Amino acid sequence: MSSFPQQLASHFKRDRVYMPVGGSKSRSEMLDEQDRAGSIDSDIPLMESPHSMPRPQSWFKRMLARLRAITMPSRPVMINLVLSQLLIACLLVVNGDANCRREQAPLLDRVNVPLVLRQSFAQYGMGGNEIWRAEPSEEVDKAWEAVTAEHIIPVKHSDIVAMRKDPSEVVPMPPGYEVDGEQTYMAKAAAFHNIHCLDWLRKAVYRRHYYPNGTDEVPFYDYHTAHCIMILFEHLTCYGDSGVYLYRWMERFDRPIADTNIWRKCWDFETVLQEHNNAAVKDMVETDVKKPKGAKEVEAPWQILKIISDFQRDHDANFDPH
């Protein structure tokens, strides 16, 4: 089973160069320019001397370095910058794509979610709610719990077809959860799964606090972490951020400093929270539903079966993944 960086690398072709119309530069020249064009992370100058800047790296190396840093508790400052940026991105709705999303998003199709102008406060000391990048506390945990509640929401047959899924493979809701007399099916809102994954990575940063005895006994900890990295990577590369950030002169620094506190048009997340709360089924969880005889099944990936087998071998032979 390949590692996540290997899986990630397989999606990017290092030798793929997009030549401008009429361009006359060779492939090697353009690859060299790509490496030279890689700029140092915009917030690093705020924490380092102007004379101790690292050598610029290619964008791919920088991305892998950031992914590896996610599980390094020794770098909470830089990781919190990444987390705060990711949280903003997870809550974004791109105005021009709103109608397209509704076609494949049953939750959005049921409500009118207004778009609002909102300023990012990702940069330290520049305002905004600090709780999303604060160190662990009871107050911080409650704030994250409020935006990561993954309740079941019932969806209809037409919703499943719109999502390009096979209704015959979807678990039906038990009797009593019909909508307008129509059978409904089990679903959850992807937005809150994304934020759950962000919260999982946040806890990985503060692993010593949340897992004082280590993670060896936490089932599938490393695999779930890799899963969450992939979830957020796919989300961020799917819903592009069209925002642009600027540079300013800042006292005590000789080089331009990025102003990442930009304005965006976002969905009103408070409305999404409220409407999700209204649509949520709170008297059951997915494990309450047992597979009936004759139910249509999909094949279990061998990777999942191997993970379970390895955990049973290394920890508890009686471990039940169900």
Task: Give tens-digit pLDDT for 208-255.
Answer: 999 999 998 888 899 999 999 999 999 999 987 888 999 999 999 999
Delimit the domains of the chain by residue range.
73-150+196-285, 151-188
Mean pLDDT in residue range 145-169: 94
The helix/strand/coil state of 14 is coil
Contact between 92 and 241 under an 8 Å Cβ cutoff? The reply is yes
Contact between 107 and 275 under an 8 Å Cβ cutoff? The reply is yes
Task: Give tens-digit pLDDT for 50-104.
Answer: 333 344 444 444 554 554 554 444 455 444 544 555 554 554 443 334 444 444 5
In whole numbers, what is the pLDDT of the chain averaged over residues?
A: 75
Residue pointed to by tokens 């993970």: 307
CA dihedral of 148, 301, 107, 291, whole degrees rounded to 10:
-100
Tally the C-alpha atoms within 13 A of residue 231's C-alpha that lie toward its C-beta: 20
Distance CA 284, CA 292 (A): 17
Residue pointed to by tokens 């030279």: 36
Task: Give tens-digit pLDDT for 250-297.
Answer: 999 999 999 999 999 998 999 999 999 999 999 999 999 999 999 999
pLDDT for position 303: 87
Task: Give tens-digit pLDDT for 179-206.
Answer: 889 999 999 999 999 999 999 999 999 9
Distance CA 97, CA 296 (A): 34
For the chain, list the strands marked E by DSSP.
Answer: 115-119, 152-155, 185-188, 246-248, 257-259, 263-267
Residue pointed to by tokens 């709170």: 282
pLDDT for position 112: 80
Cα separation of the two ends of the chain: 23
Angle between helices 221-238 and 190-205 (to 10 degrees): 130
pLDDT for position 106: 65
Distance CA 45, CA 62 (A): 16
Neighbours of 43 (CB within 10 A): 19
